Amino acid sequence: MDGFGTDILNALILFANFVFVPALSYGSQLALGAVGVTLVYGVLRFANFAHGDVMAFGTMITIFVTWGLQSYGIGLGPLPTALLALPVAILGTIALVLFYDKTVFQFYRRNRSAPVIYLVASVGVMFITNGLVRLFIGPDDRRFADGERFIIKARAFKKMTGLSEGLSLQVTQVITVVVAIIAVAALFWFLNKTRTGKAMRAYSDNEDLALLSGINPDRVVMVTWILAGTLACIAGTLYGLDKSFKPFTYFHLLLPIFAAAIVGGIGQPVGAIIGGYVVAFSEVMATYAYKKFLKYLLPDDMAPSTLMQFLSTDYKFAISFIILVLVLLIRPTGIFRGRVY
Amino acid sequence: MKKITIAALAAIMASSVAQAEIKMGVILGFTGPIESLTPAMADSAELAFKEASESGKLLGGETISVVRGDSTCIDAAAGSAAAERMITADGVAGIMGADCSGVTTAIASNVAIPNGVVMVSPSATSPALTDIEDNGYFFRTAPSDARGGQVMAQVVIERGITDVAVTYENSDYGKGLSDSFITNFKALGGEVTATAAHENGKADYSAEVAALSAGGSDILVVIGYLDQGGRGIIQSSIDTDAFENYVLGDGMIGQSLIDNVDGDLTGAIGSLPGSESSGALMFLDLAASAGLDGDGPFRAESYDAAALMVLAMQAGGNADRATIAENLMSVANAPGKRLMPGELARGLEILAAGGEVNYEGASNVELTDVGEASGTYKILEIKDGAFNTIDVR
């Protein structure tokens, strides 16, 4: 019976190491991205396709500032220097999105254009941002995480516990989850407790009614962009820290982010967060091979001979699509009943 | 008076012949997944062209100028466009390249073969290229992966490893080598617990690594490119401690892998076409005297590819495309005087006098009847932060 107890522990650790921890940090990154998309959708009423590339732009500034700090020998010890660079990058990203609003989106807002026109304009903005990022930092893969890499190394964990499976916990994964929790908590406090936050929600619910009660629309729009820019920069930096920065992969992130926002119910911040984790966990769990996991749990004669993998990892991206299709078919409004025009 | 005119005319003609440079193309992936390997490969090829030009014996004192093109390694359309430009606009007589198997197949069948231009690839190793309809215009100084996979499988088995997981880059090269490895490994009694393809250019390979490790094996065979997905897989595997050791395909071998992976790779083994023969050592000296490091993936093969084309021109007495195609096999194989790296001048002399040569070169060149190297492999192991050759077979 003792052997079975360790088997269960081994199975759980295996699952945590390869599924739970990676999916949790990936989910947090998607959630932050999806909240940004959903806010813009809720208040400004269009799907902002430029969000992925704005994330890349913010991360790029983080990297530049990180390099600058590193050259002066300034760091955070065991934590990545990028955390120190993040506030500057957030300001830069906010400046970028406000600039885009003034030069592009404001025009369509004044003309009361249809959402689809906004959407196409945002595709244009996406390509411009994409080009800018490649122009400034280049298309290459860059790793900018410094400081300690691990909180627990898998091998050390094995030695410590005597189990045959190891759990590795990277500093960046923990930072991702912690920063995501702080950012989301701050956002909800802002939306629910402050005057401006309440004004935003009112404007989102009913624009005309909000205007009649004396809410300044320009201010609401500006605050929305500030929040979206901040979230995009944080999400992008966390993703880059945890994995690596490459402009092209940020462009690809757009799909899971939109899937997350739609699954949760577009326009609903809580939904976007849940959606982020739903998409991340589905991606990781559907492509994981459960052979070893089941081998620990089942008696020897029932151990699977195949890999027990639902989908090959080649189809990881397809899962976002599948979820998207399923949600649109079964519950088009998403989990939290988002608005659908 | 008449004599002087004739003499003057002859002089003008002679000089004009000498001035017309022979253009040769070098098409390699200067950008893309193996961009850290290609500059040295191109330099090695150009070393041979320079040697022939400076000897003054190539077709009575002709010189070669090199046109470089970017194959990109992965973008068949871009690589074909570069080759097309080389052949039609620059008018090259032959092409040294391309590098990665996918683009090489595309360039050979869409551009080089239809235009009747010889291509000698130093590094395209896909078994599919053995059966390509080449009309005698495609050669390679790299052996086919059918042999590469066999060598890898033998090395792994001899280490007492009986089960492995295999990941390969999703391309002609990756699929070809991994199929060959798996077939041979199983034939030798090994077990493959999991296989997963990986794509290049992703930020995150944790899902692939998780699936691979679920098979239960401690050894991962990585067949990919060192500056791309292959490195990502290894990094992700080290981060989660999914595998204890690695077996590397030839595209994974290079110092940049060791330098860029955060973690300890000591004990990883790999195989790479190449040898430590006297020819290989002579090439190292030759390269060193030209300020190059000749010890690296596919550098010897690049030098040999260029040298073969030069010798083929001389054997046919003409620097046109058809001559190179007709004579390449005869200068590469017996009979004839054996030629080592750095002996191009002597070879050119022998050929000019109507003799025959058998070019051995830096990589023991011996072409099979379809025009590809039969293959000598170096087995390498990572120790003290560098690849060390431990065996040659």
* Model confidence pLDDT, tens digit, residues A91-145: 999 999 999 999 999 999 999 899 899 999 999 999 999 999 999 998 878 888 8
Partner A contacted by B214 (CB < 8 A):
yes
Q: Contact A313/B196, CB-based, under 8 Å? A: yes
User: Rounded to an integer, what distance in angstroms lies between the CA atom of residue A234 and that of residue A216?
Assistant: 27
Helix (H) or strand (E) holding A47: none
* Model confidence pLDDT, tens digit, residues B191-224: 999 999 998 878 788 888 988 988 888 999 999 8
**Which chain A residue shows the shortest CA-CA distance from B211?**
A289
Q: Which of A149, A249, A313 sits opposite B203 (nearest CB)?
A: A249
User: Rounded to an integer, what distance in angstroms lies between the CA atom of residue B276 and that of residue B147?
Assistant: 18
Domains B2-143+277-372 and B146-274+376-392 share a fold: yes
Beta strands in A101-242 (DSSP E): 150-152, 169-170
* Model confidence pLDDT, tens digit, residues B89-103: 999 999 998 999 999
**CATH code of domain B2-143+277-372:** 3.40.50.2300
- The reported pLDDT for the residue numbered B179 is 92
**Which chain B residue shows the shortest CA-CA distance from A294?**
B214
If you average pLDDT over residues B113-141, what whole number do you get?
92
> Which residues on B lie below 8 Å from A283 (Cβ)?
207
What is the predicted ipTM?
0.78
Q: Contact A149/B262, CB-based, under 8 Å? A: yes
Is the distance from CB of B93 to CB of B313 less than 8 angstroms? yes
- The reported pLDDT for the residue numbered B108 is 94
Q: What is the CA radius of gyration of chain A?
A: 22
Give pTM, 2 decimals: 0.76
- The reported pLDDT for the residue numbered B16 is 44
> What percentage of chain B has pLDDT greater than the value 70?
95
> Which residues on B lie below 8 Å from A246 (Cβ)?
201, 203
> Which residues on A lie below 8 Å from B208 (Cβ)?
313
Q: Which of B251, B228, B248, B222 is nearest to B101 (CA)?
A: B251
* Model confidence pLDDT, tens digit, residues A222-264: 999 999 999 999 999 999 998 889 888 898 899 899 999 999 8
Strands A150-152 and A169-170: antiparallel
Is the distance from CB of B188 to CB of B153 less than 8 angstroms? yes
Give the class (CATH, top level) of B146-274+376-392.
alpha beta
**Which chain A residue shows the shortest CA-CA distance from B233?**
A243
Residues 6+ apart with CB under 8 A from B325: B116, B118, B136, B137, B312
> Which residues on A lie below 8 Å from B202 (Cβ)?
249
How confident is residue A340, by pLDDT bands cut at 50, 70 and 90?
Answer: low
Domains within chain A, CATH numbers bracketed: 2-330 (1.10.3470)
**Which chain B residue shows the shortest CA-CA distance from A283?**
B207
SS3 category, A153: coil
Q: Contact A283/B202, CB-based, under 8 Å? A: no
Partner A contacted by B203 (CB < 8 A):
yes
SS3 category, B160: coil
* Model confidence pLDDT, tens digit, residues A271-298: 999 999 999 999 999 988 888 888 888 8
Q: What is the CA radius of gyration of chain B?
A: 22
- Ranges of each domain in chain B: 2-143+277-372, 146-274+376-392
